[in-house]
Amino acid sequence: MFAETLVLDPGWTPVARINWQRAVTLLWEGKVEVIEEYEDRVVRSMTLEIQVPSVIRFLRGHIGRKRAIRFSRQNVFVRDGGRCQYCRARVARPEATYDHVVPRVMGGRTCWENVVIACMACNQRKGGRTPVQARMRLGTLPVKPDRLPGGPSYFLTFQRGMPESWRAYLRDAVASLHYWNDELEQDA
Ligand SMILES: [Zn+2]
């Protein structure tokens, strides 16, 4: 029997998919509650019979250790509140550009402290210059965030082949998911 279980954190955010045996263990340990079940899948032991959970939710805490916030385009976008860091205009995600504050050619690194989102106009205006050279001001000093507004930086999307019962708990698949979520190559 092949079945996977979707795991939600206490805030109903999907955080993992695990095999059903692990899900049943968590259930027996009293760490999770069952949200959805596979109606047609039952496990039996000598003494009891349970339906395989398709969605479970942790009652408290998080899975495992606290994850470091990934340095990804999505997370830079979230950190910057979806606003161009030069003119403060709201930028739609597909139109956001990722600006090296100190340009790469001048030794600027690709890291939390040197990458901000910018609207296309500001990005063009700034060109390959520093903010001082371009006479542009950064709204806030970019830093590596301890936490991000809007919850975890990691999410799952509903894809074909997943159990239908997962759909309500997952975001819709976004074509550019990988683009947004892949870890950016960070300079040492
Ligand atoms: Zn701008």
Q: How large is the average pLDDT for residues 23-39? A: 91
What is the whole-number distance in angstroms between the Cα of residue 136 and the centre of ligand 1?
10
Residue 162 near residue 173 (C-beta atoms within 8 A)? no
CA dihedral 72→156→153→114, nearest 10 degrees, is 10
Confidence (pLDDT) at 111: 94
97 CA distance to ligand 1 middle (Å): 10
Predicted pLDDT at 14: 81
pLDDT for 101 beyond 70: yes
Work out the average pLDDT over 85-101: 92
- In this predicted structure, what is the pLDDT of residue 121? 96
Q: Which of 161, 187, 185 is nearest to 173 (CA)?
A: 161
**Residue list, CB under 5 A from ion ligand 1:** 84, 86-87, 119, 122
**pLDDT at site 174:** 45
More confident residue, 49 or 65: 49
Q: How far is the CA of 133 from the centre of ligand 1 (A)?
A: 16
| Percent of the chain residues topping a pLDDT of 70 | 80
Residues paired with 171 in a beta bridge: 157
Residue 39 Cα to ligand 1 middle (Å): 52
Distance 134 CA to ligand 1 centre (A): 13
Section 131-139 average pLDDT: 93
Place of tokens 């403060």: 88
> Ligand 1 centroid to 92 CA: how many Å?
12
Q: Could you give all domains of the chain from N- to C-terminal order, each with its CATH number?
A: 4-66+155-181 (no CATH), 73-134 (1.10.30.50)
Q: What is the pLDDT of residues 58-86, one digit of tens each?
A: 888 754 445 567 888 888 988 898 899 99
| Alpha carbon of 142 to ligand 1 centroid (Å) | 15
The mean pLDDT value for 28-32 works out to 90
Q: Compute the chain's Rg from CA coordinates.
A: 22
Positive or negative: CA dihedral 77, 80, 82, 87: negative
pLDDT value of position 62: 57
pTM of the model: 0.50
> Which is nearest to 119 in space by CA: 141, 143, 87, 78?
87
